[in-house]
Amino acid sequence: MKTFKNSAVFLFLTIFMFTFYGCSNLFLDDYELGTISINLNRAGRAALYDNETISKLNLSVKVSGGPGADQERIDVKDGQVVIFNLTPGLWDITVLARLNNEIIAVGQKQVNVNSGPNGSVSIQMAEPNEYSDGTAEKPFFVFNDATLRKVGREESGWTLYAHYRQVENITLSAVENWDPIGRDDNDNDNKGFSGSYDGGGYKISNLKINKSDSWADGLFSVTADKSLIQNIVLDNVTIITGGGGLGAVTGINKGTVKNCSVTGTVRGKGWALGGIAGDNNGEITNCVFNGSVTNDAGGGGDTGGISGNNSGAIKECKFSGTVTDNSRDWNHTGGISGNNDAGGEIINCTAEGLIKKIAGVEMGGHAGGIAGYNKSVVRNSHFSGEVNSDAEYGSAGGVVGNNLNILTGSSAKGTVIGEGNAGGVAGNNYVNELTIVDDNWNVIGSEGIISAGIITNCFSESDVSGRSNVGGVAGSNINIIENSYSTGKVSSLFNAGGVAGSNKKYQYDGKDDNGPMYTGVIKNCYSTGSVTGKIELQNDGGELVSSYIGGIVGENEGDVLNNYSSGNISGGFGVGGIAGFNSSGMIQNCYATGDVSGLLQMIGGIAGQNNGNIINCYSTGNIRGDYNVGGIAGSNNGNIRFNAALNPYIFSDNISGIIDNISGRIAVSVELGDLGTSPPAGMLSMNFARSDMQGGPWNDINDNGRDGQDIAASEINSNWWQSVLNFPSDWNFPSSGLPTLKNMPAGTQNPVIK
């Protein structure tokens, strides 16, 4: 007999057929169990079985519950069974007696493995459901298709509010069209299944539903707010209907679904399709779906790998497979939930596979690796695979398509392909009614006021491509992106950025047309991948070149603070190491180390075109373009001060034949604006450039000129950055070399002078 360490502890289960011996729960004083022996006492058999019959019985044991993983089903042979790692806690032991593969008796007991003397426990064996009354203490046993079809049908006490426990694998191959449990055709809150069903980890195989016009379909139709569905394993599910509200476990969930797993196919036409639940207003925890979910209908149907629509909680769930929206309409598609509605939570979930939305021109809708549309909270959730959407007016994101509230601690790895508003984490970071959260991002209420999307502590390792507003973290942003980063490649025709394609201001109209003004903020973020502007061939044979391509943001109206970019940046015109076009925003405490190149004009180490403010920044990459090429900005009509251009060379191809102002060590095409503004427009002040920079000629060498003041590499030290360039305490200053930014997310900063 196998034991662990110096302890051998035995649990003796004395099984009496049709007799009951009252006994308190068993206490074991050592949880390091090596074996559990089951001695079969046949003393009570005579009332039912003779010796020949009892010798033919096949007894098996199922141990579940407790704080550890459920044990495997183990056949009892010669009165002995080995169960490893039975840790302290309350465990359920179920004994099944079979004759010719048919269950003829069932016994069940709870055992508390904790402390105290060794002992024994008696398990009452009886014909299935002889002593069951549907209470939690004496649930109805479900062990074949006939008993499964009795659940909730109001026969012999098998009501919609009774308690059920599955004790055997069940196949539904002979059932052509499953009739869901708890159907509520009137969507009455007082109807639906309100009891409990414990699947025990046993399988239900080959469930099929095929209806031309139906809704709220699944193993259960509607699970009410007091229901508990747990430990169900659905294998090879096929649900194909002409309606919505479809989920393999339940069509509509208002209760609790936990520890369930599903493989198969869910396909419908309409509202709310999901792998586990179509619509979730309750809680779904620790559930897994592996397969495909497809929506073929228009009219606002949301589709998700776990739940189509969620206004409850989805926690610790996993999806693997394909979610597809073929509806060509304004629907939302996600790996966990298509729409995470107001009050909904998606926490600690993962999804992998393909999330695809087919909408086409003049259509919208949102697709995301975790949620297509988020109005509440997505936290600590991760996607790997591909998100692909052709919606002209929609968005595609590695985690969330359209984010209107809290998105934190989440990531994506793979590929994101969109038409407009495509991002490695979120396609769009936008505006919505506020959901109140506590310090740990838990939903605690709603005030009915307006707030906007917040992305914090997220990252993307995805390659992201699209036609406009494409970013490594977000395609477009009007509120906050903070402590986030991107390491993948980004490419777009218009507005591409390593963090955001666009970062803008937005006036929310609201009901009175006088809503708040939002200003996009990108802070403590970085990008290490390349950002590339596409070239699009036109029908007439011409080419449309890209515009506004930046290492952090393509087009900026907001605040870009404490960020860095280390990838190479290339495009048509308006190309910059940090921003392609800084139209009216602030770029401060940023640096770029990659090479910047453009086919046309406005190519700069920090911004291609600057109409705003650039302060306390530096660039170290090579800069090349046709004309209007500069170490800090290619074209400037704003304010550039306290910056350093440390580029090895700045080169202007001058293919366009421009004679004057084709390049500058700091910026070119300086146009003085209204000197009465604060700060003055079109101004250069206290800027420096490396003295050995190649290119030129440099004819305006002074700290207020377009070529800046000379600085030699030997003169660059911590004192120079702080006392001359007024770099603030946001930076780390080495004794020699280049400063790095404080309070950045994970990653190594190693800027050097090339």
Determine if residue 628 is left, alpha or beta; phi over 0 gives left, psi from -120 to 50 gives alpha, anything else beta: left
Whether residue 679 is preceded by a cis peptide bond, meaning omega within 30 degrees of 0, is: yes
**Given a cut of 60, is residue 90 above it in pLDDT?**
yes
Q: Sorting pLDDT into bands at 50, 70 and 90, what band is 45?
A: very low
Rounded to two decimals, what is the model's pTM? 0.87
Pairing type for strands 36-37 and 80-81 reads: antiparallel
Query: Mean pLDDT lowest for which of 154-163, 323-332, 476-485, 565-574?
Result: 323-332
E strand map for 101-199: 102-113, 120-125, 140-142, 163-166, 170-171, 196-198
pLDDT tens readout for residues 669-717: 655 444 444 444 468 999 999 999 998 788 788 878 889 999 998 888 8
State residue 555's pLDDT score: 98
State residue 571's pLDDT score: 97
State residue 585's pLDDT score: 96
Angle at 347 between CA 345 and CA 350, to 5 degrees: 125
Burial (CB < 10 A; 0-12, 13-18, 19+), residue 238, is middle
Q: Sorting pLDDT into bands at 50, 70 and 90, what band is 123?
A: low
Cα gap 209→280, rounded to integer Å: 20
Cα gap 713→718, rounded to integer Å: 12
Do residues 691 and 715 lie in contact, with contact meaning Cβ atoms separated by under 8 Å? no
Second-level CATH architecture of 12-127: Sandwich (2.60)
**Given a cut of 70, is residue 413 above it in pLDDT?**
yes
